[in-house]
């Protein structure tokens, strides 16, 4: 039995990790750190939770003495880089701190100096880097929008001239302390666009998708779920459905289907479902949907842990 822990366990992604890991057959959840909720039962904070786990607040020294195999960090951006160098366990970081191979690109996107320049990480997208993830000691778990955009365009990106991503996400992606969490009326019968041209996930995606891209995100009223509409302008004609079906034929969590998928197809799952594939001259419209808290965050983090520890990739996620 492998021992694992979470730092930042009381936020939305931390809670999703608790739900998955507490039922995972191969791991014991030994640390559930939350400064703000230390000593409280998880079900005092999330009343739908049925377990009896209690939030902890162990020091880094105490965590290191526990001999944990994997530590999940569900912290705000810029905090993980100060903690990772102190941990002895393998780390899966759900923030952006270790998503960029070139740290200068992180610094440009997030406007802060990176303090851990030498440590190497693996980008935690299993559909692209499964072999590297299996051997990794440090994973930079992808952003939710980035996951959807990469998966929506990866099979045909080499033949794409440019891609326009129109993306919509449930408000949980903004976090537990967001204005949407505090005032539900903001999104009632509403949709809000933001960061029209320079959302940080654009720079994350540009590491892997080499076609020219544009990206505008929107917040919508559902709590969870994300839709990526990719307008892919092609250099040449291809059998697009065949290309996607072939590329993802061995993927456990990416499903290619005819028709247009919607959020109901993926909520509370670790799936990304891709469909649409309508063609208008040289433009292909591809729709990808996923749960931003699972395949876009915590579910994908556990998928990465499964690969790192030698479990079946889908353990605890079906």
- Least confident range of 92-96, 151-155, 177-181, 264-268: 177-181
Is residue 144 flagged as an active site residue?
yes
Confidence of residue 84 (pLDDT cuts 50, 70, 90): very high
Please tell me which residue in 37, 144, 167, 272 is annotated as part of the active site.
144
* pTM of the shown model: 0.96
Q: Is the pLDDT of residue 33 over 90?
A: yes
Confidence of residue 177 (pLDDT cuts 50, 70, 90): confident
Two tokens, residue 306: 């499964």
Which pLDDT score is estimated for 22?
Answer: 96
* pLDDT tens-digit series, residues 38-54: 999 999 999 999 999 99
| Percent of all residues in the chain with a pLDDT value above 90, rounded to a whole number | 96
Mean pLDDT of 158-165: 96
- Least confident range of 5-19, 30-44, 174-188, 210-224: 174-188
Domains of the chain: residue spans and CATH = 2-141+297-309 (3.40.50.720), 145-290 (3.30.360.10)
Query: What sign does the CA torsion over 251, 253, 257, 259 have?
Result: negative
Select the more confidently predicted residue: 270 or 318: 270
- Least confident range of 129-133, 141-145, 235-239, 283-287: 235-239
What average pLDDT does the chain have?
96
């Amino acid at each position: 039995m492998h021992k694992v822990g979470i730092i930042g366990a009381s936020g939305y992604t931390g809670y999703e990790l608790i739900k998955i890991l507490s039922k995972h057959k191969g791991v014991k959840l030994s640390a559930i750190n939350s400064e703000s909720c230390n000593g409280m039962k998880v079900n005092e904070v999330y009343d739908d939770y049925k377990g009896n786990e209690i939030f902890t607040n162990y020091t880094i020294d105490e965590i290191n003495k526990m001999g944990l195999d994997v530590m999940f960090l569900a912290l705000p951006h810029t905090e993980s880089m100060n903690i990772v160098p102190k941990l002895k366990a393998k780390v899966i970081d759900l923030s952006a701190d270790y998503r960029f191979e070139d740290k200068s690109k992180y610094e440009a996107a997030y406007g802060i100096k990176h303090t851990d320049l030498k440590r190497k990480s693996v980008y935690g997208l299993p559909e692209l880097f499964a072999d590297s993830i299996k051997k990794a000691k440090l994973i930079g778990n992808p952003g939710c929008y980035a996951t959807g955009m990469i998966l929506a365009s990866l099979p045909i990106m080499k033949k794409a001239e440019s891609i326009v991503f129109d993306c919509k996400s449930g408000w949980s992606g903004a976090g537990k302390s967001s204005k949407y969490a505090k005032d539900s009326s903001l999104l009632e019968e509403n949709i809000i666009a933001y960061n029209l041209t320079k959302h940080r996930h654009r720079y994350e995606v540009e590491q892997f998708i080499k076609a020219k891209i544009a990206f505008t995100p929107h917040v919508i009223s559902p709590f969870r779920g994300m839709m990526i509409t990719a307008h892919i302008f092609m250099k040449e004609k291809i059998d697009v459905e065949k290309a996607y079906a072939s590329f993802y034929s061995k993927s456990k969590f990416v499903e290619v289907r005819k028709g247009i998928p919607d959020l109901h197809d993926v909520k509370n799952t670790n799936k990304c479902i891709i469909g649409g594939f309508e063609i208008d001259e040289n433009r292909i419209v591809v729709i990808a949907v996923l749960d931003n808290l699972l395949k876009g965050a915590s579910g994908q983090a556990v998928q990465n842990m499964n690969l790192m520890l030698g479990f079946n990739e889908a353990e605890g996620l079906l």
